[in-house]
Structure 1
Amino acid sequence: MSRMEKPPVDPQNPWLELRRLTPARIALGRTGTSLPTSAQLDFQFAHAQARDAVHLPFDHAGLSTQLKEHGRESLLLRSAAADRNSYLQRPDLGRKLSDESAQVLRDYAAAHPGGVDLVIVVADGLSALAVHRHTQPFLSRLEEQMRADSWSVAPVVLVEQGRVAVGDEIGELLGAKMLVMLIGERPGLSSPDSLGLYFTYNPKIGLTDAYRNCISNVRLEGLSYGMAAHRLLYLMREAWRRQLSGVNLKDEAQLQTLESEDGVDMKGNFLLDPPTT
């Protein structure tokens, strides 16, 4: 039985019912003291998918074409990591631009003085698969919800062999007030295509993670594009108003849930029964 198939309900084994509610590897059964062959093969397949996601080349040309078809300009840059092996073994190289890419941004900034309000950076990270699958549909949802804001936006910056901190250099060179980084997250054994979003107000070289806000697990089986865009836009508007981001900016976006009214979440612990009136 594949891990994705729903096991039959067995009233004598409550673990099987729990397995229907989670992709976690529980209630796999056993053959003697070992796992059944199907569970072992499924694990090996998931592990292979995760490894493939890490080493999948960044199809920046295809992504650039998608963006252009939807009216978005893009710039292609590269980090200081010359290849994938360097990127994996030297995280510091993925956190800064190559000399050639840094000069490209300086030339662009000189031709477009005054800076911009927002720059969106897309980097392959540890899963180019996530970027390929989710960048365009997520940006479409974000732009739908961002139409009321009059922020100036730079071309989408694509970074090959990039890590999160490379966005700080990009934002500083472009004079951006806000930066949104879309990056492929480290693959898990049930999520080889998870997209992460990192938001920074007033990006500049040398910032730590304490100055960033993160929204993770953006994918069809995780956090939906619409909800991720809603949460990100809340952070962006609050950051614009308060001129800060990171640990001092909490995500208090009001989300529509089954237990909410008019898009406002009910307060309290969801594990407990609601109070009686």
Structure 2
Amino acid sequence: MTLYAIPFPTIDPVLLSLGPLQIRWYALAYIAGILLAWHYLKRVARQAQLWPHVKSPASEEQIDDFVLWATLGIVIGGRLGYVLFYNLDAYLANPAEIVAIWNGGMSFHGGFAGVMLALIIFANQKKIPLLSGLDLIALGAPFGLFFGRIANFINAELFGRVTDVPWGVIFPNGGPLPRHPSQLYEAALEGLLLFVILRILSHSAGKLHKPGFIAGTFALGYGIFRSFVELFRMPDEQVGFLTAGTTMGMWLSAPMVIAGACLMIHALRSSRQSATSDK
């Protein structure tokens, strides 16, 4: 064992117990991510100069209304994604467990798909431009990713592979050897760094004037960062490694990379065509 191993800090996943009611850090992470994203998106929506034609794609009232839709998309999509991609046989054997989300088991990619479906329906009903709506939602997504990964670390779950780096952590359920704190890698890349990139593109580079570019950057960036961290993260035990040492996380992120790149190219081409036609 390396002399530099860091013992896992003593953190109870349950913040507060009130009789049978337990308030968990994981649930608070979801709430914090949603509330901060909500607040941030309303601020961005008020900055008319950021948007094409000096008009936000959605009003603050519409953003308020969409929060419930997004929450349902995250929870339902995240749960169904986990069931389908990570543990289908177990849930087919015991279907009642599918709704027992308090026992854990959520998938980002499923939640992402759920929010996309919710936005498509909501945007169609409210006559919101879909691509600009996607851009707006993408700006708030890193908040949830950051707090969600911090909660994964607190729960000592989704830890990394065995390592001898000085910051390796000995997780309670990870055996005696230090492992990569891959949850913190994801929090830093998918949460903090991706937020900074999107912030620069939206507020300094004027990319919200190219509808779809910010959303494409988010999908591309997340897919790349997630695939990179998968090199250090242990795959779910029931899934294991797939072809050529790849993981389910890599396979699910690959379509995001492709779709994100295509969306960015489409946004740039559409912007050029619009500029040409205006001359």
Interval of TM-score (by shorter of Structure 1 and Structure 2)? under 0.3
TM-score, normalising length from structure 2?
0.23
More strand by share: 1
Q: Name the TM-score, length of structure 1 as normaliser.
A: 0.23
Q: Could you say which structure has the higher helix fraction? A: 2
